[in-house]
Structure 1
């Protein structure tokens, strides 16, 4: 679980965008973990009276003029005061609060060029997840422009790609990491709190890897490729990748790691194959550890798909062939370079052969997880990558007939993790449990539909789900908006902003109406 280490790790000082401690000589800035629990004025003028949750300008970790300009433009575009307040709070949240350190890598020699590094925390958890950090920056890709300045958005992307490259090289099976040594943020006390110190997993990363948690999640690898692709396709900056000390080696490590996990549990002669990855944890929650002495459920080899031990929710997979993660990997392997197109084709072929199943009520749909033997888990989870989100990362078109069948299933009570109630109707998952819908799932629903009625209904639900705090929570009780998890979930906040900007392009008339 992500939460138990928050309080003690919050004792580690937080640094600003350029390596300086936040705050001014008159006193420190408030800890946003506490700040996000409180309602700050001025409240919005709508019926929900949503709080203003941006830190004071002097306390914003990475001020960016383009973000403030976008907010000013959207104030003229969004007519509903509550909807604008949500955008105003959520869109800048990662830059305002989660860019915990930015600086330069230590040089191995005098001839080394300066290498930018960016350390991004998830929000209320003082660690950097590969998946979260990639998606947190992805919310700003429409503002990304070529720029060599270290105070630019492009620099944030480059620094994050560089740091993720370092993490992948040192511990490619791990999902979350401590700050780099250059930041001076990491204390021996904080390092000793890492779950990796007590978990049993293999292969072990070296002590210098700075691992916070080592759950192998296939989408962590895909997220690194996603971030690299988004930077390159937007800026066309090929020199960054050619000059990087680590990027190409990280891609090679990624491919080796994924390839090693395409085999099955059993060898041709019936013996058990070396597992490639194991994970065990002493826990009272079944979703926090793997069965079969840490190997997970048996899986058939030769499917073309890559095994995943955990889902993007950090919950253990029931069946190891996690379909949305394979979809995402296939998409970004194919997008990044010709060197990996062959593997992308194999993974996609595996998804299409083994990941499709016949549902008695919805026809042909995509399963959430399979094992290649015929074992199938038909559901969806709110965390991205999900089946619902497949068109978002362009694995398929949103009008694909099998996707539409799958979508109808996901948004029905036949999906065991579709939650309903007067507050929210959306997908949840075992990470928080039944009765708790994730606002993220409604944001994805909006991003993957052209139906105005569906979008309007989802926006209204999101407006009513924040308990007046004006931020996107991780999960909300479908019958009681005041019962929620995670007051500061930066990825979900950014995704909300990304969705509003998407509506500005696709459905501007929906931003001109009242949601009161």
Structure 2
């Protein structure tokens, strides 16, 4: 691998968009635009390496590995501008092609290495290849690269992103999701030793028992924590949307019709499973979506800050922001009924079992804003995010709801990207759909 100059947003385009941000936020405009412009200028450049094969490797931030999920989320605000900046679009295509190479290599892996350096997880009991950093299977890890390809096609009109490698990745995803509808047929196992229970699967790496639902099984959540019940509903919502994208591409003559038909049929089964097994009655909120279920009668009512979440269902493409089912679920998630919703003197929002109690995540605050139909609600959350950086001007993984100076991860590229996506949304620049 050879590191060369990284392409970012064209300076004149970034300056023009920053002016739009300044205008959109009124009195807060100068402060918001300053944080936005600095992050947009530096965030991608600080984590991206262009490789000799023309692809691009994106670090998740302070960990020397590339997550399929994180790397797609990290480029979302840049994707908004890619239609006006061909060089930026080329870079994002390079990111996609690196993701697709990794996905085809092993669709069960969630994170990959940039070179021959050893993995911190080489002692995990699973099938590890030299290129893999971690092999925690998460449904959403397969969603994000396919979704990025579809969005690149929408934003730029470039059909070259839908090449033979994309077709191979799409085939691998449909095959794996179909297999994992019945996890008893799967050869996937994962065990980690001398670790918290959330870092490994039970029953010799098989995971807890599940029944048939039509949904597809996941070992781990988008947080990389083990699922309690292995049908992760927001992950299946995202899979449902991505399978619809594959069917759309097949209808447009850009993907094999047979694969499009298989994707459409699997989509119907997953959607039926979500609606039959993923909805539960809550005594106060009414009928809402559970975070996880097992098809055996157990359901977990909560939400996690990491995307895809139940709160991010409109961003995943499963529900509209005004859908009554979404609104009922949203009210529950943004209340004390969600065990990971924290409210303090500095902020209120969703955190994660992945971080200490009381820590709100900027990613979740950004998602809350992106799914808020009220423009003032969006602006309020942008101001809150600017107010809770503890003077760093950067987004953290999580911060204490009473004291933003207590935070995890000094800088977190994904959170920075989500802040910028929310700012762009307020300024009237949004991703298609």
CA distance in 2, matches of 1:92, 1:366: 38
Task: Please name the residue that 1:103 is paired with.
Answer: 51
Query: In structure 2, what is the equivalent of residue 297 of structure 1?
Result: 208
TM-score under structure 1 length normalisation? 0.76
| Structure 2 partner of 1:279 | 190
Asked whether the 8 Å contact 1:85–1:470 carries over to 2, the reply is no
Question: Equivalents in 2 of 1:349, 1:475: separation in Å?
Answer: 35
Say which of 176, 180, 188 aligns to 1:261.
180
Is the 1:424–1:476 contact (alpha carbons within 8 Å) kept by the matching residues of 2?
no
Equivalent position of 1:200 in the other structure: 125
Q: What is the Cα deviation at residue 69 of structure 1?
A: 3.5
The answer for unaligned runs of 5 or more in structure 1 is 1-12, 19-60, 106-115, 180-185, 265-272, 508-516
* TM-aligned CA deviation for residue 159 of structure 1: 1.1
Change (3 A) 1:428 1:470: same
Q: Give the superposition deviation at 1:131.
A: 0.4
Q: What do the CA deviations read for 1:282-307 (whole angstroms, capped 9, x no partner)? A: 13411111112111111112x11011
Whether the 8 Å contact between 2:139 and 2:235 is mirrored in structure 1 is yes
Aligned partners of 1:240, 1:216: CA distance in 2, in Å? 25
Deviations 1:374-428 (A, max 9, x none): 1100100010000001012221111111111100000000110001101120101
Q: CA RMSD in A?
A: 2.1
* Greater C-alpha Rg: 1
Q: Give the one of 54, 66, 74 matched to 1:136.
A: 74
Higher mean C-alpha deviation, range 322-331 or range 70-79 = 70-79
> CA separation in 2, counterparts of 1:450 and 1:125?
35
Cα 1:63–1:14 shift into 2, 3 Å: farther
Q: Does 1:164 align with 2:99?
A: yes
Matched, 1:15 2:3: yes
Query: CA distance change for structure 1 residues 294 and 126 in 2, over 3 Å: closer, same or farther?
Result: same
Query: Relative to structure 1, is the Cα distance of residues 465 and 94 closer, same or farther in structure 2, using a 3 angstrom cutoff?
Result: same
Instruction: Identify which range, 319-328 or 422-431, moves more after superposition.
Output: 422-431
Identify unmatched segments of 5+ residues in structure 2: 251-259
Structure 2 distance, partners of 1:442, 1:276, is 38
Alignment of 1:82-101 (within 5 A): 82-99=31-48, 101=49
Q: Deviations over 1:458-496 (max 9, x none)?
A: 334222211011111110011111100112211111111
- Pick aligned residue for 2:345 from 422, 427, 442: 422
* Structure 1 residue 322 displacement after superposition: 0.1
Shift of 1:342: 1.9
- Map of 1:221 onto structure 2: 142
- Counterpart residue number, 1:58: none
Question: Distance between the aligned counterparts of 1:394 and 1:233, measured in 2?
Answer: 14
What's 2:222 paired with?
312
Cα distance in 2, alignment partners of residues 295 and 433 from structure 1 = 28
SS at match of 2:62: coil
Give the match for residue 421 of structure 2.
Answer: 498
Aligned with 1:382 (options 305, 308, 313): 305
Distance 2:67 2:276 in 1: 31
Which stretch of structure 1 is more off in the superposition, 455-464 or 310-319? 455-464
Tell me the equivalent position of 2:108.
173
In structure 1, C-alpha distance between the alignment counterparts of 2:14 and 2:383, rounded to whole Å: 25
Give the Cα separation in 2 of the matches to 1:258 and 1:401. Answer: 28
Could you tell me whether the CA contact under 8 Å between 2:143 and 2:239 is conserved in 1? yes
Name the structure where helix makes up a greater proportion of residues. 2
Which position in structure 2 is the counterpart of 1:334?
244
Shift of 1:262: 0.5
Q: Name the CA shift for 1:310/1:257 in 2 (closer, same or farther; >3 Å).
A: same
Distance in 1, Cα, partners of 2:109 & 2:338: 30
Deviation at 1:72, TM superposition (A): 4.2
Give, in whole Å, the separation in 1 of the partners of 2:5 and 2:198.
Answer: 36
- Would you say 1:235 and 2:156 are equivalent positions? yes
| Count of aligned positions | 414
Is contact 1:92–1:494 with CA below 8 Å preserved after alignment? no
**Against the structure 1 CA distance between its residues 426 and 214, is the aligned structure 2 distance closer, same or farther, given a 3 Å change threshold?**
same
Distance 1:197 1:482, change over 3 A: same
- 1:425/1:161 Cα in 2 relative to 1: closer, same or farther (>3 Å)? same
The CA deviation at 1:330 is 0.6
The answer to whether the 8 A contact 2:378-2:422 is kept is no
Partner of 1:34: none
Q: Secondary structure at the match of 2:428?
A: helix
C-alpha separation between the residues in 2 aligned to 1:118 and 1:403?
A: 36
- What is the DSSP-based 3-state SS (H/G/I as helix, E as strand, rest coil) of the residue aligned with 2:33? helix
Shift of 1:196: 3.7
Rounded to whole Å, the distance in 2 between the matches of 1:223 and 1:464 is: 30
Q: Residue 64 of structure 1 corresponds to which residue in structure 2?
A: 10
- 1:352 Cα deviation after fit: 1.1
Q: Is the 8 A contact 2:8 2:41 kept in 1?
A: no
| TM-score scaled by length of structure 2 | 0.90
Distance 1:313 1:358 in 2: 26
